[in-house]
Structure 1
Amino acid sequence: MSTLSRSTMLLLGTAFSIASGFDRPVIAVMSHPYNSTHEYMAASYVKYIESGGGRTLRVPFTANSTQIEEIYKQTSGLLFMGGAATLPQAARDLYALKVKGDESGDFYPMWGTCLGFEWINQLVGEDDSIIDGMFSAENISLALDFTDAISGSRAFPEDGIVADLAGNYEITMNMHEHGVATEDFLANELLTDTFNLISTNDDLDGKNFVSTIESKSADKAIYATQWHPEKNNFEYGAVDNDKAYLSTSHSAEAVRLSFELAAFFVGEARKSDHVFEGNLKLAINERTGVLEETSFEERYVFLN
């Protein structure tokens, strides 16, 4: 019997679940507490993933182990977003499933942005105290200071457009007081065994912090940035009379960087064999409202 291509199977209507796994990746994104009754997800992360061709499934901040197992099974990757929440047990449980999957040859890429970057360092480094709370890096856009490790980077190929943009233009938006000092990262063997240190930066006081990391193993597929690629396209920080209070760049270079990284991560998710079965609600369908604010221009809110 001849082997049908994925596109042929989709046209014939035979193996929609297979097409879903490869061509319709669904990314898990953990929501954060908003108040006593609701959690939220910044809409910019949903739009960011959509710009790369993916969709988003919410991970409740207080999800139990049964919910986490089902979410892991039906999603093709995981993104921890920025915010101000403490690392929850649900995130630890989801990461534990990823580690177990990595050991058995499963492929489940993971990305962390800002707070999510910090969570990944805490999880992989097995040290919650790795996070330093003394950085002056609020509302500044920087060009990345790449290390020699960029020569083998998958997300930032040395001679590629992404490295050119991020390294030569001040378009990586930082909004953090917490972070990982470069010296602390280098002193943690679990982190240095797992990750290549792709870039560092200095804060406004000259203190050096880790800004980009990437797993040494392509099979582990872990990527994390202390900075915000999604803001370049989807967060203007507009206040009265459309005056921006954020230093986020919306130049052609900044927008291209955001798109390229979204496309890269969703492309990684397409390699996963996990299949979305449709019995869980996508974030865009589950949301109970939209809040318009300044820190995140739009927040999707969800009942606890």
Structure 2
Amino acid sequence: MWRFYFCLPFLLFDISAATSAESIFLPSQIRVDSSRVFDTRSSHVCSSPDPNLNYKPVIGILTHPGEGRWDAGRHSLSYAYSTNISYIAASYVKLAETGGARVIPLIYNEPEELLFQKLELVNGVIFTGGWAKTGLYYDIVEKIFNKVLEKNDAGEHFPVYAMCLGFEILSMIISQNRDILERFNSVNYASSLQFFENVNIEATVFQRFPPELLKKLSTDCLVMQNHYFGISPDNFQGKPSLSSFFNILTTSADKDSKTFVSTIRSKGYPVTAFQWHPEKNAFEWGSSEIPHSEDAIQVTQYAANYLVSEARKSMNRPSSEKVLSNLIYNYKPTYSGYKGSGDDEVYIFM
């Protein structure tokens, strides 16, 4: 007897067994002709796209001065500014891509007219980690952030994700105090997140986290800290400009058990800032302290999903031609993981 096999999704179906008791489908559910097998139990109708969502979101990532943390011997503003070189750690790009977005690099030291033209091509912005808190870089972060607030005030949903240095600079901008940061012993170690008293996680990055993962965040070391500076909860709440703009979502403790604010969310804008690094768990390998457990990877994935879900609410729809010519795909990352520290890959812009 001839035996014919047809490959269906998740099923290798043997026609000769179609009416046997071991078949997955009942005989009445299968219709066979000479060339096809049909499942007649139901018809599938694809839902229409939500016109209020942008299914091709693009995230702008601001470059940071210098060639990257893999070249630690050249960490100085004077060197970075004199060489005109800047970079983006590839892990931030991968974070956005994990959530389903594409990336356009916003080169901090290119002509401002060009920089702000690129800002009109994106649906959200990431301010990365790093070390530059003064000079041109600070000024550009402040200008972009003020533009973002203007966009939101005008009715355009335009999110910001700020990580580590980004957290610190936004705190300085909102407080209008460049000396607000305190020293913490928080370099290169994994920690937990303690949810702030009476915190409401609705409409925050943590809303979609499964309950079990939320619990583990407060008991296990699932996030990576790598910073010398931060703000204590008392100092944060004691600054009306900060406490009126942001809600504290989580705190963490440094190596000396000193508590600092670790996650904040704006009360009136789609702005989320992390003192920790949601991008590192899944995409960086240079430090043995970076958590790589399945739970830690889920933290990265849920953080990425939230970022892009916010960007999808943006109705900014620039022409495809302008977007394509500016995407990060036009650049090649440089592998730097052989150094055994810092970022595994960086995009360098000259």
Whether these two folds match at TM > 0.5 is yes
Find out whether 1:164 has 2:215 as its counterpart: yes
2:105 — aligned with what?
58
Cα distance, 1:206 vs. partner? 2.2
* Secondary structure of the corresponding residue to residue 23 of structure 1: coil
1:260 — aligned with what?
302
Contact 2:208 2:302 in 1 (8 A): no
TM-score when normalising by structure 2: 0.74
Over 3 Å counting, the alpha-carbon distance change for 1:250 and 1:289 in structure 2 is: closer
- CA distance in 2 between partners of 1:51 and 1:165 (Å): 22
* Secondary structure of the corresponding residue to residue 201 of structure 1: strand
Question: Over residues 262-293 of structure 1, what are the superposed CA-to-partner deviations in whole Å (9 max), with x where a residue is unaligned?
Answer: 01111100000122433241123134755444
- CA distance in 1 between partners of 2:284 and 2:96 (Å): 14
- Identity among equivalent positions (%) equals 28
Find out whether 1:235 has 2:284 as its counterpart: yes
2:58 — aligned with what?
26
Question: Over residues 106-157 of structure 1, what are the superposed CA-to-partner deviations in whole Å (9 max), with x where a residue is unaligned?
Answer: 210001111111112122222221222x210111111111113432442113
Cα distance, 1:37 vs. partner? 4.1
Contact 1:29 1:58 in 2 (8 A): yes
Letter in 2 for 1:118: E
1:82 — aligned with what?
129
Find out whether 1:144 has 2:218 as its counterpart: no
Question: Over residues 131-186 of structure 1, what are the superposed CA-to-partner deviations in whole Å (9 max), with x where a residue is unaligned?
Answer: 22x21011111111111343244211398445334223211100011112222211
- CA distance in 2 between partners of 1:194 and 1:234 (Å): 31
Q: Greater shift after overlay, 280-289 or 115-124?
A: 280-289
Which of 168, 189, 193 pairs up with 2:244?
Answer: 193
- CA distance in 1 between partners of 2:140 and 2:346 (Å): 21
- CA distance in 2 between partners of 1:276 and 1:48 (Å): 22
Contact 1:27 1:76 in 2 (8 A): yes
- CA distance in 2 between partners of 1:120 and 1:226 (Å): 11
Contact 1:68 1:94 in 2 (8 A): no
Gaps of 5+ in 1: 8-17, 238-244
Which of 330, 335, 344 pairs up with 1:285?
Answer: 330
What CA RMSD, in Å, does the superposition of the two structures yield over aligned residues? Answer: 2.3
Over 3 Å counting, the alpha-carbon distance change for 1:283 and 1:149 in structure 2 is: farther
Cα distance, 1:261 vs. partner? 0.7
* Secondary structure of the corresponding residue to residue 308 of structure 2: helix
Which of 216, 225, 228 pairs up with 2:267?
Answer: 216
| Bigger helix fraction | 1
Equivalenced residue count is: 279
* Secondary structure of the corresponding residue to residue 200 of structure 2: helix
Which of 126, 148, 156 pairs up with 1:98?
Answer: 148
Find out whether 1:107 has 2:152 as its counterpart: no
- CA distance in 2 between partners of 1:297 and 1:127 (Å): 34
2:231 — aligned with what?
180
- CA distance in 1 between partners of 2:127 and 2:61 (Å): 6
Cα distance, 1:193 vs. partner? 0.8
TM-score when normalising by structure 1: 0.85
- CA distance in 1 between partners of 2:326 and 2:65 (Å): 19
